[in-house]
Amino acid sequence: MLQKAPLIMTMCLCLWTLATSRDTLQVYKIDNTIGLPAMNGDLSDWQEAYAVGGFTDSQNIYYLGNHDWASWEGFDVDYQAKIYLAHDGTYLYLGWQVLVDDISLVGNGCCTHDCIRLSFGAKDDWLYLFNGPVIQDSNPRTLAYAYEYVAGTTPGPLPTYEIRILKDDLPRYYPMVNPPFALMSFGTEDYDDSLTTGMKAAFLGLRAVMTDDPLVSATNPWDNSAFYPVVQFLDQYPDSVAAQKNPPQGPDGISLTAAPNPFNPSTTIRYSLQGTGDLSIYTTEGSLITSIKGCAGKDSYAWDGRDAKGNPVSTGMYLVLLRNAHTTKTTRILLVR
């Protein structure tokens, strides 16, 4: 045991150095009481609290394919995205909305179509999700290792991507550290009609800190985890989500919240009350849409914008009422189709 102590201390010191010498990307937890996002290419079920931003400065650029800066016009012209990240006890969840892309290449295929790329730090150890339909063994595409995933896309000029990956599959994942973290890159390969312009490509990484020359491909930055951010898996919810999970009770012992709001296609109504009561949804004119009898304690109800007969209701404002024998609590929700 005495001989192992220096080794353990050295390993802990190395992990501490890794975690404190680069940019940090904090990933908050999510669970069924909040609503796990479906991996279907539709980002409407992601809460804004899980948005981690996009690309911000030149250090996010791993590589420029034309070997000069002339082809790069900036994040507001060439490429920009809004990225969501979350995790639970088992999986890492990623949502990706392309906001800017001056030339969009739709389809499946490496180096000929737009994609997002998850890099794991070893030679050719990556996962591509292309700007095309999900096809088994083709999109997503991996090379070095068959990662366990569920993915969805909405292809087009400004595509959306979603993917869920098993955390234990991540090769540079350190679950015994507090907080647990991984070294990996969330990036894109934006090729911009490379077949006719001679590889006008921009390889970008979220929160990457690229310190080598991005015009020199020999540095092979995609396969060098020294440029990757520290991805911390926090055992906590974002502040706004934590407030939704534990809404403050008033002096009458009753609380009512709904999120997301506005919403499409569904919102989660969370309530807490003493005794039993009813939860009802009305139009602003007072017509009953649907109701739940016998509500008690703390619970939630996912409303999908349909009435009691299953018919979809129209866009507009609706009233949610929570009532027990003594008190009524009301909140407004806005459905946007």
pLDDT of the chain, 337 residues: tens digit per residue: 334 344 344 344 444 445 445 899 999 999 876 778 999 999 988 999 999 999 999 999 999 887 678 878 899 999 999 999 999 989 999 999 999 999 889 999 888 889 999 999 888 899 999 999 999 889 999 988 889 999 999 999 999 999 999 999 999 999 999 999 999 999 999 988 655 555 678 899 999 999 888 888 766 788 889 999 999 999 999 988 876 666 666 656 688 888 888 888 999 998 888 778 899 999 888 889 999 888 888 888 999 999 999 999 999 989 999 888 777 888 889 898 8
In this predicted structure, what is the pLDDT of residue 199? 61
Closest alpha carbon to 334 in 243, 264, 271: 264
In this predicted structure, what is the pLDDT of residue 15? 47
In this predicted structure, what is the pLDDT of residue 286? 83
List the structure tokens of 60: 């996010």
Which element (helix H / strand E) includes 18? Answer: helix 4-20
In this predicted structure, what is the pLDDT of residue 198? 58
Domains and CATH numbers, the chain: 21-233 (2.60.40.1190), 247-335 (2.60.40.1930)
Closest alpha carbon to 83 in 69, 65, 97, 67: 97
101: Cβ contacts below 8 Å, ≥ 6 apart = 78, 79, 114, 157, 158, 190
**Nearest 5°: phi and psi at 11?**
-65, -45
